[in-house]
Chain A
C-alpha cells in the first residue's frame, strides 16, 4: 500500500515539492530528502532540542512533526540563518567569538532558539536568554558561553539581520 503524499514547503527561502510517507518526520525529511544535515538528531522524542527548526518563524521540534503536517509552511534550518553564502549571521559570529560551542551537536538547535528569541526581543535579559534555551540540552559548554554569545550578539548592531 502506498500512502505517499505530495507536500510543498518553502525551505530556507526555496520552494520544494516531494512525495513522502506520512510517517516521515520533518527532521528526517530535511536531513534525508533534502540533504540538509545541519539539523541534528538527538533524542528523537522531543526533549533535547537538537532538531529545532523555525516553522513559520516559530521554533519547533522537527522530530515531533510529521513532514505532511508542515505542508504549505515555511521552514528555516541552520543552513538558512546566514545572510549570504560565505557569511555568518551576527548570532553565528557571536557563537564563534564567545566559544558558544565545543562539539557543535546542540549548536544548530541553539542558534534556531536564539534567532527566534532575538527576533522577538532584540535586547533580551540573561534570564530571557536562559529561558529561550531551556528546551535545548548541551553537554559541553555548561550553557554560560552560549548565554554570553547571545548577549554579545545583541551588542553587535541589529541582530535581527540574522533571519
Chain B
C-alpha cells in the first residue's frame, strides 16, 4: 500500500512548525525521523492533509548535560544518543533501553521525541522515561511552553498529553549521582528488534551495606502504558534484596497490570514474562550496585 496524497512543508524553526499545526487545526501531523509515521501513512492508518517536517530544525537536535539532569532535544536521533559516550554515562538506563529499540537502521532515523510521542505501550524509551521521572516540554503557538512529567504524559496506548497543536520540543532526564548506582533493562520479543512482548527496567542505588537508598522500576508491554511502581519502590528503602524478595516484589507489581492478548502472546503469558523480567532486572542491578563497592 502507498500513502494517500498529502502536502508537505519543511519547517525551518519550531515557531514555524507550531504556526502550521495551529493553522491546519488537526489536519497536519509532525514528522521527524518518520520510522513510525511513514509505515503508518503507507498503511493508511494515518492520513494527514499536511505533513510538517521538523527533522531539520537544529534547535531540536541539541542536547545539554547538567549536573542533575540531561536535556535532550526531541529531534535528537536515537543513534546519536547511542554513540555519545557522555550521554550513555549520564543516562545508563537510556543507553541500555536503546539497545532494544528497533534496529540500527531505524535508530539512524528515529528520534527520542518521536518514540515518546508515539507512545507505543511496549516501547522502550517511554518506559525508561517513566522509571527516571523525565519531564517533557510541550509547545504550541497559542499556549507557549508547558512542562509535563512523564507520569502525566502517557495517557493510553498511542495516546499522550500532546494537544493537536502541540509539539514535544525537549525532554529533561534526571541524572543520578553518587556511589552504588546501577540500572538494567530487559525485554523479550519474538526476534531481537521486534516489539516487546514484555519488558522491565530499573535503576537503583544502594549503600555500602547493600541497603536501598533509591529505587525506581517499571514494566512495559503489559498495559495501555508502561507502568512504574513508586509506592512499592519506596517501601524498599533501607532494605536489602534477595531472590525471594525480588520475586515477591515482581509478582506484586505485575499483578497490577492488564496485559492484552494477541497472536504473539496471551495475557497470562505476558504477565508471567513481565514478572520474570522484572525479577531479573532487579537482581541484576542490585548485585551490580553492591559489587561496585567491593572494587573501591
Could you list which residues of chain A lie within 8 angstroms of chain B, going by C-beta atoms?
1, 3, 5, 21-23, 25, 28, 44-47, 49, 52, 55, 58-61, 63-66, 68-69, 71, 113, 131-132, 134-135
Contact = CB atoms under 8 A, between A and B. Distances in A.
A81 to B, nearest CB: 17
Given A23-B6, A46-B106, A55-B109, 5 more contacts: A58-B79, A60-B105, A66-B34, A134-B103, A134-B192
Contacts, number: 91
Contacts of A23: 2-6, 41
Given A46-B35, A68-B8, A69-B31, A59 B104 contact: yes
Contact of A3 (B7, B39, B108): B7
Interface in B262-293: none
Interface in B101-129: 102-106, 108-109
B7 A25 contact: no
B193 A134 contact: yes
14 contacts: A5-B8, A23-B41, A25-B38, A49-B103, A60-B105, A60-B108, A61-B35, A61-B105, A63-B38, A63-B39, A65-B34, A68-B8, A69-B53, A134-B103
* 9 closest cross-chain pairs (CB), A and B: A135-B103, A22-B8, A23-B3, A45-B39, A58-B108, A64-B38, A135-B105, A3-B7, A61-B105
A22 B38 contact: no
B55 interface: yes
B31 A52 contact: no
Q: Determine chain A's interface SS by DSSP, over half rule.
A: mixed
B28 interface: no
Contacts of A5: 8
Contacts of B193: 134-135
Given A23-B3, A58-B108, A59-B104, A69 B42 contact: no
B85 interface: no
Contacts of B2: 23, 25, 28
B51 interface: yes
A21 B194 CA distance: 31
A113 B105 contact: yes
A83 to B, nearest CB: 24
B6 A3 contact: yes
